[in-house]
């Protein structure tokens, strides 16, 4: 697989988001099956794996650490800090916490669970309005000096926060939701990343599964699947948003590709310093996603996709209001 640069960090062009193996998309999956899936990804050339302490909590980092231990020198592990987790260890959080002392505590736990002595890319998961970003960047800068972290990242941060953090400790990567049905980063964040030389990691590049074409208005979600709480995934919104999937599917038929492959190929074609991290718990879907790298979208293809997709109104907010308020700070 081709490689891409996120700041000074080299990763596979397509990474693997591991969250859904343990958290958010229904009940946790079988651990041994997920270890085998991660091993398959490594065999297929994936070198970039994404997790976070809040996924589980903790169990996803443990899974990723165990699965990647045999390949540690050959892969890049990204994880995240910034939530105050529930004291009883149940899923969810009680608030944000990016105080430097909390970051120093969080990194020790992540290092242990990931079975490593250094984290390749350490993101602030969400901006904490109670802690100046300069203090956060300074804390990560100290961890880099200590050899516990290699690169600093931000997730869903606003442009001014990005600039202030970057002035203290260079930011290697920004992780934001980005896909054909969520293009807001194009307005400010992606231009700022280009200006500052920061890499961009699109999460949910398949629209949390919707752009695969395997979800429609009749799909039912388990109560532990967080999509059941998202305005964009109500049956009414899914019915309205089917027009976008139908269009992507039509492009796929013309290219002998699946809708998921077209959606990923579109992201890959935007910038050479973008590395999307689609998640999956299925080996055939992993193979499908990785096949997107070989799909060529010409400038004419991209122009038509952008024009047609922009004309389709996507219905429903991507998050409930209380979660959306945690982004773009």
pLDDT 10s digits, 14-70 = 999 999 999 999 999 999 999 999 999 999 999 999 999 999 999 999 999 999 999
User: Across the chain, which distance is largest between two alpha carbons, in Å?
Assistant: 54
Contact call for residues 60 and 257 (beta carbons, < 8 A):
no
pLDDT at 14: 99
Number of domains present in the structure of the chain: 1
Q: With respect to residue 214, please indicate whether it lies within any of the assigned structural domains.
A: no
Domain that holds residue 117: 3-209+264-295
pLDDT at 28: 96
pLDDT at 45: 98
Q: Read off the DSSP letter of residue 214.
A: -
**Which pair of structure tokens corresponds to residue 94?**
């009680």
Q: With respect to residue 165, please indicate whether it lies within any of the assigned structural domains.
A: yes
Q: With respect to residue 238, please indicate whether it lies within any of the assigned structural domains.
A: no
Average pLDDT rounded to a whole number, residues 195-217: 98
Question: How far apart are the C-alpha atoms of 247 and 237, rounded to whole Å?
Answer: 16
Q: What is the pLDDT of residues 130-169, one digit of tens each?
A: 999 999 999 999 999 999 999 999 999 999 999 999 999 9
Q: Where does the pLDDT of residue 322 fall: very low under 50, low under 70, confident under 90, or very high at 90 and above? A: very high
pLDDT at 9: 98
Q: What is the pLDDT of residues 73-124, one digit of tens each?
A: 999 999 999 999 999 999 999 999 999 999 999 999 999 999 999 999 999 9
Q: With respect to residue 240, please indicate whether it lies within any of the assigned structural domains.
A: no
CB atoms within 10 A of CB 104: 15
Q: Which residue among the candidates 25, 55, 58, 203 is catalytic per the annotation?
A: 55
How much is the pTM?
0.98
**Which pair of structure tokens corresponds to residue 96?**
């944000």
Backbone angles phi, psi at 108, to 5 degrees: -65, -40
In the annotation, is 203 catalytic? Answer: no
Query: At 159, which CATH number?
Result: 3.20.20.100
Contact call for residues 281 and 35 (beta carbons, < 8 A):
no
Q: With respect to residue 329, please indicate whether it lies within any of the assigned structural domains.
A: no
Cα-based torsion angle of the residue sequence 122, 125, 130, 134 in order, rounded to the nearest 10 degrees: 30
Q: With respect to residue 312, please indicate whether it lies within any of the assigned structural domains.
A: no
> What share of the chain has pLDDT > 90, as a percent?
100
Q: With respect to residue 273, please indicate whether it lies within any of the assigned structural domains.
A: yes
Residue matched to tokens 């500052």: 196
CB atoms within 10 A of CB 129: 13
pLDDT at 157: 98
Q: With respect to residue 248, please indicate whether it lies within any of the assigned structural domains.
A: no
């Amino acid at each position: 697989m081709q490689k891409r640069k996120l700041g000074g960090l080299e990763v596979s062009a397509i990474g693997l988001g591991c969250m859904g193996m343990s958290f958010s998309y229904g009940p946790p999956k079988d651990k041994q099956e997920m270890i085998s899936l991660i091993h398959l990804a490594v065999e297929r050339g994936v070198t970039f794996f994404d997790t976070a302490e809040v996924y589980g909590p903790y169990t996803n980092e443990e899974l990723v650490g165990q699965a990647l231990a045999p390949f540690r020198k050959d892969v890049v592990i990204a994880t995240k800090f910034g939530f105050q987790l529930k004291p009883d260890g149940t899923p969810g959080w009680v608030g944000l916490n990016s105080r430097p002392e909390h970051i120093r505590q969080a990194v020790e736990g992540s290092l242990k669970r990931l079975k490593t002595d250094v984290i390749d890319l350490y993101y602030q998961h969400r901006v904490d309005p109670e802690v100046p970003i300069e203090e956060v960047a300074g804390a990560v800068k100290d961890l880099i000096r200590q050899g516990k972290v290699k690169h600093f990242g931000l997730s869903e941060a606003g442009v001014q926060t990005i600039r202030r953090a970057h002035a203290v400790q260079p930011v290697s990567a920004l992780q934001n939701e980005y896909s054909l049905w969520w293009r807001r980063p194009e307005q400010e964040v992606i231009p700022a990343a280009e200006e500052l030389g920061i890499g961009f990691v699109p999460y949910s590049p398949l629209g949390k599964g919707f752009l695969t074409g395997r979800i429609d208005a009749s799909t039912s979600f388990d109560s532990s699947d967080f999509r059941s709480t998202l305005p964009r995934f109500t049956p009414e919104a899914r019915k309205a948003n089917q027009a976008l999937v139908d269009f992507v599917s039509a492009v796929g038929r013309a290219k002998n590709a699946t809708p998921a492959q077209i959606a990923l190929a579109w992201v890959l074609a935007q910038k050479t310093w973008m590395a999307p991290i689609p998640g999956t718990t299925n080996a055939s879907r992993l193979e499908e996603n990785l096949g997107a790298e070989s799909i060529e979208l010409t400038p004419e293809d991209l122009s038509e996709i952008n024009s047609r997709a922009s004309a389709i109104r996507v219905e429903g907010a991507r998050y409930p209001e209380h979660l959306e308020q945690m982004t773009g700070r």
